[in-house]
Amino acid sequence: MKFTPEEMLAKLPFPPNEKWKNGVWDVESFRQGNVSLIFFAPKVKDYQTFHEEDEFYFIVSGKGELIIDKERFSCESGDAFFVPKLVEHHFENFTEDFATWAVFF
């Protein structure tokens, strides 16, 4: 199976709704067993805090900062990050074209 950022961007319903205050910015691309692949492209503000699963982020495009448990990391296309389950994290100061894959397991 192949998944592309362009394909996933086309599936994102950006208008605001109950899930996201400024629009829906993620789409589940794949799920099998306890592994899921999410495409995430936040706009304006990233409201996430923590998750019940471990996760990897693979930055696809743009630049920004990932705050993991109050520690700030710069991020850009090509970078990868691990975030343990139940650890607060979110992106800040990201560019308009920012997008990332997230693998939950």
Residues 40-88 pLDDT 10s: 998 888 988 899 999 999 999 999 999 999 999 999 999 999 999 999 9
Picking from 47, 46, 57, the residue whose alpha carbon sits closest to that of residue 84 is 57
44 within a domain of the structure (yes/no):
yes
Strands 35-40 and 99-104: antiparallel
pLDDT of residue 10: 85
What is the model's pLDDT at position 44?
Answer: 84
75 within domain boundaries = yes
Domain count, the chain: 1
In-domain check, residue 37: yes
The range of the structural domain enclosing residue 94 comes to: 26-104
Q: Per-residue pLDDT for 17 more than 60?
A: no
pLDDT for res 14? 63
- Cα 21 from Cα 18, distance rounded (Å): 7
